[in-house]
Amino acid sequence: MKVLAVLYNGFKAAIEEPRLLGTVENKLGMDKWLASRGHEFVVTSSKDGPKSDFEKHIVDAEVLITTPFHPGYLTRELMEKAKNLKICITAGVGSDHIDLNAAVDHKIQVLEVSGSNVTSVAEHAVMSMLLLVRNFVPAHEMIERGDWQVSDIARNAFDIEGKTIGTIGAGRIGYRIMQRLLPFNPKELLYYDYHEIPPEAESAVNCNRVGTVEELVSQCDIVTVNCPLHEGTRGMINDHLLSTFKPGAWLVNTARGAICDEHAVARALASGQLRGYAGDVWNVQPAPKDHPWRSMKNPLGGGNGMVPHYSGTTLDAQARYAAGTRSILQNYLDGKPQVHQNVIVGTGKYETTSYGIH
């Protein structure tokens, strides 16, 4: 059996740090195990275009392993060429780089390691709120430059305490963010999700549900995006929705870059309609050198908290998603049932209701 994995190159770091399991070099720690079972394991970072290893090997692979950090985009067209493909495993959380509707049609299962990095992402989202609201990045840059002018930083620095904060999507990550924000004494925690949080969980974080995304963003000082990318969320944060935000709000998106219109966000930041934007996810990964989110700024020269996609790939998270990927593959090889919460698309149908209601 051929198992194809598309991972990112770790280069020197991966050789020096074997816990960088999600890299081409360290192969999710699965190469010896798969070889001992007699399987062919092809691991590559070459993922884009007809000459890529991905397109070359997908034609006869039975198992595809990808990560959201260096996504191998499995389109409907590629799926049609992938005659042997039975199962796609996402080493991590978020399988939007696989055409899920096409996977349903082709009876290809899609699984992810649910929960494996949700705490890692929740921590990053809270950190991003803090660094935006407290105007941290320009303050640090000032220090590196050798300057010292407190008023230039303090004129745009605030506290999280007393702010209204809302999450679009209140699943594993969205809920964990609210749990972590509670001790900061926000004025109010709000969420918008078509799934209702159970009443006891809602009262544990003292949050309130609102009926529409517009209702959420118009009330919030800080908005955070924590829903998957699917037909109903692609481009959701566009010029129109941004115009309904409270002027000067902060936006944190560690979910998926394409949920936001990249140019609309850059425009809103430049005009001051957004005071800040932070996150680690981009509509194209790796992001091109001239991507507007690399250099966009608010009118005071700050408000950009963008980093490469790494919030969910801390070393702690890598240990969890590597183990989870192996256990999904082991179940597949042994013909055992999968843990239901990991199944995004089962054979011929969606098993999750997180990617829109199907």
Ligand X SMILES: NC(=O)c1ccc[n+]([C@@H]2O[C@H](COP(=O)([O-])OP(=O)(O)OC[C@H]3O[C@@H](n4cnc5c(N)ncnc54)[C@H](O)[C@@H]3O)[C@@H](O)[C@H]2O)c1
Binding residue for ligand X (CB under 6 A) from 76, 81, 187, 195?
195
Q: How many residues at the interface with ligand X, by CB under 6 A?
A: 32
Q: Closest separation between CB of residue 58 and ligand X, Å?
A: 22
Point out the annotated binding site: 93, 117, 172-173, 193, 228-232, 254, 280, 309-312, 354
192 contacts ligand X (rule: CB under 6 A): yes
Q: How far is the CB of 357 from ligand X (least distance, A)?
A: 9
Known active-site residue 267: no
Q: Among 160, 242, 281, 296, indicate the residue that binds ligand X (CB under 6 A).
A: 281
Strands 349-350 and 343-346: antiparallel
Q: Contact letters (x/-) for ligand X, 120-159, by CB under 6 A?
A: -x--------------------------------------
Stretch of residues binding ligand X (CB under 6 A), selected from 34-42, 250-258, 263-271, 291-299:
250-258
Applying CB under 6 A, among 193, 221, 261, 262 the residue interacting with ligand X is 193
Residue 233 contacts ligand X per CB under 6 A: yes
The count of residues in the chain is 358
Binders of ligand X among residues 2 to 21 (CB under 6 A) are none
Q: What is the 3-state secondary structure (H, E, C) of the chain?
A: CEEEEECECCHHHHHHCCCCCCECCCHHHCHHHHHHCCCEEEEECCCCCCCCHHHHHCCCCCEEEECCCCCCCECHHHHHHCCCCCEEEECCCCCCCECHHHHHHCCCEEEECCCCCHHHHHHHHHHHHHHHHCCHHHHHHHHHHCCCCHHHHHCCCCCCCCCEEEEECCCHHHHHHHHHHHHHCCCEEEEECCCCCCHHHHHHHCEEECCCHHHHHHHCCEEEECCCCCCCCCCCECHHHHHCCCCCEEEEECCCHHHECHHHHHHHHHHCCEEEEEECCCCCCCCCCCCHHHHCCCCCCCCEEECCCCCCCCHHHHHHHHHHHHHHHHHHHHCCCCCHHHEEEECCEECCCCCCCC
User: Taking CB under 6 A as the criterion, which residues in 30-59 touch ligand X?
Assistant: none
Minimal distance in Å, beta carbon 84 to ligand X? 27
Q: From residue 74 to residue 113, what is the string marking binding to ligand X with x (rule CB under 6 A)?
A: ------------------xxx-------------------
Residue 101: active-site member? no
Query: With binding defined as CB under 6 A, does residue 171 bind ligand X?
Result: yes
d(CA 30, CA 163): 46
Q: Which of 109, 219, 273, 285 is catalytic?
A: 285
Distances (CA, A) of 296 to 39, 275, 284: 47, 11, 17
CB of 172 to ligand X, least distance (A): 4
- Amino acid at the residue 193: D
Q: Which residue has the tokens 């989870």?
A: 324
Draw the binding track, 319-358, toward ligand X (x: CB under 6 A; -: no contact). Answer: -----------------------------------x----
Cβ-based nearer residue to ligand X, 21 or 93: 93
Q: Is 166 in the site for ligand X (CB under 6 A)?
A: no
Amino acid at 176: R
Choose, by CB under 6 A, the member of 224, 226, 298, 304 that binds ligand X.
226
Q: Which residues are annotated as a binding site for substrate?
A: 93, 117
* Residue type, position 218, single letter: S
Residues in touch with ligand X (CB under 6 A): 92-94, 117-118, 121, 168-174, 192-195, 226-229, 232-233, 254-256, 280-281, 309, 311-312, 354
Q: Which residues are catalytic?
A: 117, 256, 285, 309
